[in-house]
Structure 1
Amino acid sequence: MHTVIVYESLYGNTREIAEAIAEGVHDADPGASVDCLPVAEADADVTRSADLLVVGGPTHMRGMSSGLSRRMAAVAEGHKEGHEEAAAEARETVQGPGLRAWFHDLPTTGAATYAAAFDTRVDMPRAGGAADGIAHRLSRHHYDVVAEPEGFIVEDTDGPLRAGELDRARAWGARLV
């Protein structure tokens, strides 16, 4: 089985969740081939080879990020003292395509190609989530979404992840297999 995990991450939280999901897939199926890639590195050839495509991103303004929301987040992070590493990751992410643009180039798949969607989000009323929009776009590209979209909680808009979320992501990844 070949699993491809594609993620967009501005502060590193979504990347950490994606890596934990990859660990969970590998724990459940040690023989599985697992690629965990930032959205800028996930071309059509990589996604075409997947038996399971897992896609995730941060929640911005109650949904998937946009070019504007990514630029705003990168600028905000750059003004925070002690956040140099997260600011560097945010600047790098803003330079590449976001998930919205990536979906425009995602080829439609044939039958029996499975997918799942996740996001990172804050735990606040009406905060929304990106995972539903990601799952909807996967379905429009004819992927069979095999799990309910999953949200993983960050404590503040730029993190850190809530305690236990990496373990929960590993368990979710294992259940996908």
Structure 2
Amino acid sequence: MINALVVYESLYGNTEEIAREVASGLEYGGAAATVRPVAEVDPAEIARYDVVVAGCPTHAFSMPSRRTRGEETGLREWIEHLEPAIGARPAFAVFDTRRDLRARHLSGSAARSATRALRRRHRVLADDPASFYVSGNEGPLLPGEAVRARAWGSRLARCTSQR
């Protein structure tokens, strides 16, 4: 059985909701999934997982920073504390939440920023980054996004089990 960890940084609850839906999809796909806020996960803990799914909202065209969210630890800082490891497990998948499709060209993508940061740490990616859309800056999620998140999680479980 695939052992998955879903970590998230969420400001308005939308990213947390997507994280829980991704975990539900992972479980539907046959994985055991744990969901936790990124600030509560020591990067040294990840070695026991086969896949880590990490998500955060898009802020200022990228991952939130201490300047845009405050002092607490977020995904950006968490990735910076990962030990560089060429080809080591776990594999990673990343997602973000961002403004609705009509504003896509204005919002940037935290998932793309997280992907670049993980590659700088020589981490293996299990899938392309995914984006899930919210209405305006604070949400709620657009209709159908929770279903898309579950489907993506299920696909991640299947992809990871074939590695």
Shift of 1:41: 0.9
C-alpha distance in structure 2 between counterparts of 1:167 and 1:142, whole Å: 31
Unaligned stretches of 5+ residues in structure 1: 72-94
- Quote the residue 1:121 is aligned against: 98
Shift of 1:38: 0.3
The range that moved more, 137-146 or 122-131, is 137-146
Q: Establish whether residue 152 from structure 1 lines up as the match of residue 139 from structure 2.
A: no
C-alpha distance in structure 1 between counterparts of 2:38 and 2:150, whole Å: 20
Alignment RMSD: 1.4
- TM-score, L = length of structure 1: 0.81
Sequence identity, in percent? 41
How many aligned residue pairs are there?
Answer: 152
Alignment of 1:6-85 (within 5 A): 6-29=7-30, 32-71=31-70
Q: Secondary structure at the match of 1:21?
A: helix
Q: Establish whether residue 96 from structure 1 lines up as the match of residue 72 from structure 2.
A: yes
Unaligned stretches of 5+ residues in structure 2: 158-163
- TM-score, L = length of structure 2: 0.87
Is residue 8–residue 56 contact of structure 2 (8 Å, CA) maintained in 1? yes
Determine which structure has more spread, i.e. the larger CA radius of gyration. 1
C-alpha distance in structure 2 between counterparts of 1:14 and 1:150, whole Å: 12
C-alpha distance in structure 1 between counterparts of 2:37 and 2:154, whole Å: 20
C-alpha distance in structure 2 between counterparts of 1:146 and 1:39, whole Å: 19
Moved over 6 A (4+): none
Is residue 21–residue 149 contact of structure 2 (8 Å, CA) maintained in 1? yes
